[in-house]
Amino acid sequence: MKKIYTFLIALLLSASLIAQEANQVFKAAGTPVNPKVQASWNRYYDHAGITALCKKIAAAYPDLAKLTSLGKSYAGRDLWCLTITDFKKGNELQKPGMYIDGNIHSNEIQGAEFALYTAWYLTESFGDTKFIQELLEDKVFYIVPSINPDGRDSYMHQPNTSSSPRSGIKPVDNDGDGLVNEDWYDDLDGDGHITMMRRKNVNGRYKVDPRDPRNMVMATADEQGDYELLGMEGIDNDGDGRVNEDGYAFEYDPNRDWGWGWQPNYIQNGAYKYPFSIPENRAVMEFVMKHPNIAAAQSYHNAGGMILRGPGASADVTTYNSQDVAIYDAIAKKGEELMPGYKYLVVYKDLYSAYGGELDWFYAGRGIYTYSNELWTPYLMFMKESTRSPFDNSSYNFDKYLLFKDGFVDWKEYDHPQYGKVEIGGFKKNFGRAHPGFLLESDAHRNMAFSIYHSYHTPKLSVSEIKEKDLGGGLTEVTAVIANERLMPTHSSQDVKNKIESPDYITLNTTAKIVAGMIMTDKDLNLSKIQKNNPSTIVVENIPGLGTVTVKWIVEGKGKYTVSVDSKKGGIASVTK
C-alpha cells in the first residue's frame, strides 16, 4: 500500500511539472506558450539527454515527428534522427527535404542543441502558427542532433579544453611509443577543465595584465616579464621528457572523411583511412542516398559566427557555377540579416583549403544546396565587433560583468613533477567556443529561422495553367504550365551536369489517345522539342527557381485528364480537368 501511495504522489508531482495551466501564462510572440515537451534551452545535453528529448518529442507529436536511428557510432551509441513533417498531409518522401545535423566535431557541441531546438520548435508551434502548418504540409525536416555522440560525451564528461577532443574516441599514439593517450592532458586541480599553466620567471615574456589580473599579456621590449606560459595542464606521464604530446586533436577529423575531393592524410591532415571510413559519416551518407528528396542541408559547427558554403578547395571552384552561387548568395544574405554578427564566407577563399568535407559532399556529390554555420561569435557578447586588439579585454569583461566570473578558473599554485612550482588557471572548457546559457536559446532561434528560410526556398511546384485548343480533325492541343514558386530549381547545376538525380516527369493521364508530347523551348517563338518515346510523360531536365516549364500534348478524342508533375527534390503536384 505504501508503494502504491508513493507511486501516486510521484505521478501527481510529475504531472504538475508537464506544463503550466493555460490561464497562468501569457504568450510571448514567436515562442510556444505551453509546450508539451518541457525543455530548457539554456544548457547542454549529453547523449542520454538528447535521447530523452528526442523520445519525448516523438511521443508528444506522433503525427508530426518520427524517431529513428541512422545506425551506431564507433562506441555503439544511436545516431538519432527526428523526421518532422505533417504526416497527415502526404508522403514525406514526396516532399522537398531539409537535412540538419550538428556536432560533427566533439567540442563543437551547440549544434546539437540548435538542431534539437528546431525539432522542438516546429512541433510545439504547429498548433497555433499558420506558417509552420503550411511549411510542414509542404516540406520535411530530417534532424540529426549529433553525428559524433562518442566525442560529445567524452568532451562533456572528461577533462578537456574548449578545443578538445575534436574527433571521436579513437585511440591515438602520437609519439610512437606504442602506448595510446598515455600522455594526454591531465586535470591537475580536478575541476573537470583543462586550463593553462604558468611559471614565474624574471626572464619571462609575459606579465600580469594591469587591467585584469586574470589575464596575461606580452611584455614589451623595454619591460620586465614576470611569467612564462607552459601550455595546457598536464604532466609527462610516459617519461619521455615531453608533456601532453599524445592527444586526440587532428589525428583524424570527421570533417575530412567525406567522399568528395578526399585526399590522403599526408595531403589532408585528419583524413583517416579512406572516404567514409568513420561509421557515423557512413551512416549519414547511406541515409542521404536513400532520401533523394533532400534538397537543402545545414551542418552546425563552431565557432566564429560564419555562414559557410563551399568549395572547400580551389580545385572545386568551377563546381559552383554562377546560377547556383546566385541562389547561395540570396539565401545567405538573408541569413546575415537574421543573425547579427554572422558573415557569409566561402571556405577556400575566405578561410583555408579543406578536402573531404561534409559541405562539399552534400553539394558536389549529391547536388544539395548546403551551408555550414560556425556558431558563436564574440559579437554577441556586447553586440559589437571585437577589435582583436591586445587592449581589448572583451572576453574578460564579458565573464566579469555578465557571467560573474563563472567562466574562469582562478590561478592557483601547484607542485608540478617536471616544472616545479607552477600556477594553473584560465577559462573553462565551456567558455570561448560554446554559448553561455542566456545567449544559447536566442542564437538557436535565429539559426533555426535561417534554416527554415533555407527550407522554405526548396522547390514548390504547381500546375499553374492548363489550356486547350481545338486543332480540328478530332485533335486537341493541351498546354500545361508548371511553376516553381521558390528560389531553388528542382536540380542544382551540379546535379544537372552530373545527372545525379533522375529528371522531373510531367504526365498527362487521360482516356483519350495521346498522339504527341513536347516541351516548349521558346514559348514566345512557339518553338518546341518533341519527345519521340512515351509522349504521355514529358521528361524535363530541370524546373528553374521562380520560373516555369511549358509542355504540350496533341490528343485525339475527348475525355477527362489529369496533369501531374513528379520531382524527387521538388515534390508532386497535379490538377484534374
pLDDT in tens, 117-167: 999 999 999 999 999 999 999 999 999 999 999 999 999 998 888 988 887
Distant-in-sequence, close-in-space partners of 558: CB < 8 Å, separation ≥ 6: 476, 512
Res 166: pLDDT? 80
351, part of any domain = yes
- Of 573, 571, 568, whose CA–CA distance to 292 is shortest? 568
Distance of CA 477 to the CA centre of its chain: 48
Domain identity same for 407 and 511: no
Question: With contact defined as beta carbons under 8 Å apart, do 476 and 469 qualify?
Answer: yes
**CATH code at 105?**
3.40.630.10
Domain identity same for 344 and 452: yes
Continuous H helices in 425-505: 437-456, 493-498
26, part of any domain = no
Question: With contact defined as beta carbons under 8 Å apart, do 519 and 540 qualify?
Answer: yes
Res 181: pLDDT? 52
258, part of any domain = no
Helix (H) or strand (E) holding 484: strand 475-484
451-464 pLDDT tens trace: 999 999 999 999 99
- Of 504, 492, 571, whose CA–CA distance to 538 is shortest? 504
Other beta carbons less than 10 A from residue 198's beta carbon: 22
Which amino acid makes up residue 220? T
Write b or e for each residue in 465-482: b if 16 or more Cβ atoms lie within 10 A of its Cβ, otherwise e. Answer: ebeeeeeeeebbebbbbb
Orientation angle between helical segments 437-456 and 130-138, nearest 10 degrees: 50
User: Torsion over CA of 528, 533, 536 and 537, rounded to 10 degrees?
Assistant: -80
Count: domains in the chain: 3
Distant-in-sequence, close-in-space partners of 231: CB < 8 Å, separation ≥ 6: 196, 197, 243, 244
512, part of any domain = yes
Domain identity same for 142 and 196: no
Question: With contact defined as beta carbons under 8 Å apart, do 154 and 129 qualify?
Answer: no
**CATH code at 467?**
2.60.40.10
State how far the Cα of 58 lies from the Cα of 243, in Å rounded to an integer: 47
Domain identity same for 323 and 401: no
Domain identity same for 45 and 124: yes
Domain identity same for 308 and 424: no
Write b or e for each residue in 131-156: b if 16 or more Cβ atoms lie within 10 A of its Cβ, otherwise e. Answer: ebeebbebbbbbbbbbbbbbbbbbbb
Q: Is 170 helix (H, G, I), strand (E, B) or coil?
A: coil
294, part of any domain = yes
Res 104: pLDDT? 97
Domain identity same for 314 and 444: yes
Residue 347 has what DSSP assignment?
I
Give ∠ CA 114-119-121 in degrees, rounded to 5.
85
Res 524: pLDDT? 83
**What does each of the 577 residues of the chain score in pLDDT, given as a tens digit?**
555 655 555 555 555 455 668 788 899 999 999 999 999 999 999 999 999 999 999 999 999 999 999 999 999 999 999 999 999 999 999 999 999 999 999 999 999 999 999 999 999 999 999 999 999 999 999 999 999 999 999 999 988 889 888 876 555 555 555 555 555 788 998 888 999 999 999 999 999 999 999 999 999 988 889 999 999 998 887 777 788 765 554 468 999 999 999 999 999 988 989 999 999 999 999 999 999 999 999 999 999 999 999 999 999 999 999 999 999 999 999 999 999 999 999 999 999 999 999 999 999 999 999 999 999 999 999 999 876 555 568 999 999 999 999 999 999 999 999 999 999 999 999 999 999 999 999 999 999 999 999 999 999 999 999 999 999 999 999 999 999 999 999 999 999 999 999 999 999 999 999 999 999 999 888 899 999 999 999 999 999 999 999 999 999 998 889 999 999 999 999 999 8
Q: Is 203 helix (H, G, I), strand (E, B) or coil?
A: coil
Domain identity same for 471 and 335: no
Q: Does the bond joining 573 to the residue before it have cis omega, within 30 degrees of 0? A: no
Grid cell at residue 304: 566564429
225, part of any domain = yes
DSSP state string for 494-560: HHHHHT-S--EEEEEEESSEEEEEEEEEETTTTEEEEE-S-TTEEEES---TTEEEEEEEEEES---
Res 167: pLDDT? 79
Domain identity same for 450 and 417: no
State how far the Cα of 567 lies from the Cα of 426, in Å rounded to an integer: 55
72 has which bridge partners? 78
Domain identity same for 341 and 199: no
State how far the Cα of 313 lies from the Cα of 361, in Å rounded to an integer: 12
Domain identity same for 322 and 363: yes
444, part of any domain = yes
Helix (H) or strand (E) holding 14: helix 2-16
Host domain of residue 471: 461-576
Domain identity same for 354 and 423: no
State how far the Cα of 406 lies from the Cα of 426, in Å rounded to an integer: 11
41, part of any domain = yes
Residue 383 has what DSSP assignment?
T
